[in-house]
Amino acid sequence: MKLRYIDEFRDPEVARRLLSEIKKISRRPVRLMEVCGTHTMNIGRYGLRGLLPHHVQLISGPGCPVCVTTTKEIDMMIKLAEEDVTVATFGDLMRVPGSHTNLNHQRARGADIRVVYSSFDALGLALKNLKPVVFLGVGFETTAPTVAATIIEAKKRRVRNFSVFSAHKLIPPAMEALVSSPDLRIDGFICPGHVSVIIGLRPYKVLAERYKVPCVITGFEPLDILQGILMLIKQIEKGKAKAEIQYTRAVKEEGNWKAKEVMEEVFSPCDANWRGFGLIPQSGLCFKEEYKEFDVNSHFDIKVDEAKEPLSCRCGDVLKGKIIPPQCPLFAKVCRPANPIGPCMVSSEGSCAAYYKYRDWEIA
């Protein structure tokens, strides 16, 4: 199937054919996890969940960077904002609850917190100000290379008042944590398109071979997603488990070597805590010695009390695919987009926000 233009990615007739083939060959109950929050949003936006056979269940994974940021990390960011610094971050992070408050509330109380669209915007703030500027770096392999490039530029320009709070996380270790968990059943992964543009196919090959779980890197248009599901079901029905690329127009097997090179120039993998998962070995990004001067920890000793999780909030279980959002007791009752209790309802890539916005909870 060759697709070039946006209309072709949404052709209803092609969608019907893909759905017909899925229904024809799918015989066994399967649980497929879409790892990326953008997939979750588009599954809801195009109503794909309700078009699939009932025994083909789509579950959301840990693919929202804001959602997997821990409450302790949020508390530390809020604590940092109380210092005499300018804090720069993405808009999604502003309303994520910490133990007692959020960044939005702290800004209303006078903290110097700026919403930026990129890490380079944050560097621009540092170049215009004498005050220290700290960029809150959340995200996966998708955003980490641009943050690394910003740090390289800051070093080149000898910017002394710029640093980064690195809460970056790596997707393949989290997927490995999921498939090695004895209380979870995942029959296949709809692998994230954006992350895969950077890392390519190889990490999923390791995962598929070691854990016998099919992986398909999938694009974001409705026909991409349906074709990715079809590719997974074909593998499952044939008893195969390999890594494949559906999103061939954007993803190369080797990934983006330049982006990986930039990321590896500044960061090295380290252990990291994820909301809902706890500590996952080698799943975070820490500064290499040559760039330590841009690590926020080199400038500030950020100490916070033990984090308090929102009472009854089950964002952690949603992120692991243990439950779907409507199974959380707070969903659509106390927890709504206007009054989010947990990050999955805050973020534009959050599973709870997607289920709520597209009313997938009514068919779940």
Global confidence as pTM: 0.93
Q: Does residue 287 register a pLDDT over 90?
A: yes
Q: Are residues 81 and 172 in the same domain?
A: yes
C-alpha distances (whole Å) from 295 to each of 14, 47, 113, 136, 137 are 49, 43, 18, 11, 11
Residue 27 lies in a domain: no
8 Å CB contact between 268 and 286: yes
Q: Are residues 338 and 241 in the same domain?
A: no
pLDDT in tens, 130-164: 899 999 999 999 999 999 999 999 999 999 999 99
Q: Are residues 188 and 329 in the same domain?
A: no
Give me the percent of the chain exceeding a pLDDT of 70. 98
Q: Are residues 188 and 200 in the same domain?
A: yes
C-alpha to C-alpha distance for 52 and 37, rounded to whole angstroms: 19
- What average pLDDT does this structure show over 265-272? 98
Q: Does residue 183 register a pLDDT over 90?
A: no
Residue 102 belongs to domain spanning: 36-310
Q: Are residues 354 and 250 in the same domain?
A: no
- What average pLDDT does this structure show over 315-337? 94
- Mean pLDDT over each residue of the chain, to the nearest integer: 94
pLDDT at 299: 95
Q: Does residue 3 register a pLDDT over 60?
A: no
**Geometric angle at alpha carbon 328, from 323 and 333, rounded to 5°:** 150
C-alpha neighbours within 13 Å on the C-beta side of residue 302: 21
Residue 5 lies in a domain: no
Residue 364 lies in a domain: no
pLDDT in tens, 62-71: 999 999 999 9
Q: Does residue 33 register a pLDDT over 70?
A: yes
Alpha helices, H only, the chain: 12-25, 37-45, 65-68, 71-81, 103-108, 119-128, 144-156, 171-179, 193-199, 202-211, 222-237, 257-266, 315-319, 343-346, 351-357
Q: What is the DSSP letter of 102?
A: -
Q: Are residues 296 and 326 in the same domain?
A: no
- What average pLDDT does this structure show over 244-261? 97
Read off φ and ψ for residue 208, nearest 5 degrees.
Answer: -65, -40
Structurally, the chain folds into a number of domains equal to 2
